[in-house]
């Protein structure tokens, strides 16, 4: 499976600010995704990061709040904008492994908004 | 109704025990099924894909029942190192993203 890294691994931010999270993969992948895991809960998909076009957002998530870039097949960023304490969560990127639809996750970014 | 439902547990079992987790899904058009393991403060790691015919990997057996729309994970001869949260996930036909259950917490006790 691909090796996936995320930066930063954790951050503490003030409300009203924005944070950009980076996801780097060691091989080219077609499908990249961004998930959120709120404390004590399961994972929820935020959006699919499409290379060369706008991201596809799930219901309840909007581009103004979570802008995503995907400049190439090995890299993506997720920005959490105008943060509030409710945005405190773990943000994870994932990639699809290939024909079997299996997904592999990065180590996550633990965000705390004060 | 949630896409995927799991019993959150916790399951506390002694070493050597056999434990089973079930997970139900609401969309009959779901096409792919997985079990993930998540350790505390870590990312989910793929444990097994679940195939229609069922599949086994050492002490772990996964099964799919399409008629009743559930998947199961059986762990035999539990080890202390099996303590983790087990998440089931499904992909709907025509989609690529995973829908996760809430996870089942397993603690194996010496």
State the virtual CA torsion across B17, B75, B43, B71 in degrees, nearest 10.
-130
User: Are A22 and A75 within 8 A, CB to CB?
Assistant: yes
d(CA A103, CA B8): 22
d(CA A23, CA A3): 11
Measured between CB atoms, does B102 come within 8 Å of chain A?
yes
pLDDT values of chain A reduced to their tens digit, one per residue, 114 residues: 789 999 999 999 999 999 999 999 999 998 899 999 998 888 999 999 988 889 999 999 999 999 999 999 999 999 999 999 999 999 999 998 776 788 999 999 999 999
Measured between CB atoms, does B11 come within 8 Å of chain A?
no
pLDDT tens by residue, B26-72:
988 888 999 999 999 899 999 999 988 889 999 999 999 999 999 99
Contacts for B8 with CB less than 8 Å, ≥ 6 apart: B102, B103, B104, B105
Substitution target in B31, B44, B49, B105 with the highest count of A β-carbons within 10 Å is: B44
pLDDT of residue A53: 86
pLDDT of residue B7: 86
User: Are B78 and B13 within 8 A, CB to CB?
Assistant: yes
Instruction: Look at strands B11-14 and B104-109 and give their pairing.
Output: parallel
Phi and psi, residue B82, nearest 5°? -80, -10
Q: Do B42 and A102 touch (CB under 8 A)?
A: no
């Amino acid at each position: 499976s691909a090796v996936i890294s995320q930066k930063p691994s954790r951050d503490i931010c003030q409300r009203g600010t924005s944070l950009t999270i980076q996801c780097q993969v060691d091989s080219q992948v077609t499908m990249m995704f961004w998930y959120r895991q709120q404390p004590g809960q399961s994972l929820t998909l935020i959006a699919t990061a499409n290379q060369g076009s706008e991201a596809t957002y799930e219901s309840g998530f909007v581009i103004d709040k979570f802008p995503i870039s995907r400049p190439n097949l090995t890299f993506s960023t997720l920005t959490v904008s105008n943060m509030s304490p409710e945005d405190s969560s773990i943000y994870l990127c994932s990639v699809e492994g290939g024909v079997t639809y299996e997904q592999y996750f990065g180590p996550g970014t633990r965000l705390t908004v004060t | 109704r949630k896409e995927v439902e799991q019993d959150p547990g916790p399951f506390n079992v002694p070493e050597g025990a056999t434990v089973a987790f079930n997970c139900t899904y609401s969309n009959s058009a779901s096409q792919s099924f997985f079990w993930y393991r998540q350790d505390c403060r870590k990312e989910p790691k793929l444990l097994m894909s679940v195939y229609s015919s069922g599949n086994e990997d050492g002490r772990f057996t996964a099964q799919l029942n399409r008629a009743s729309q559930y998947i199961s994970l059986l762990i035999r001869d539990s080890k202390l190192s099996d303590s983790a949260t087990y998440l089931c996930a499904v992909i709907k036909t025509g989609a690529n993203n995973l829908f996760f259950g809430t996870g089942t917490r397993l603690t194996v006790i010496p």
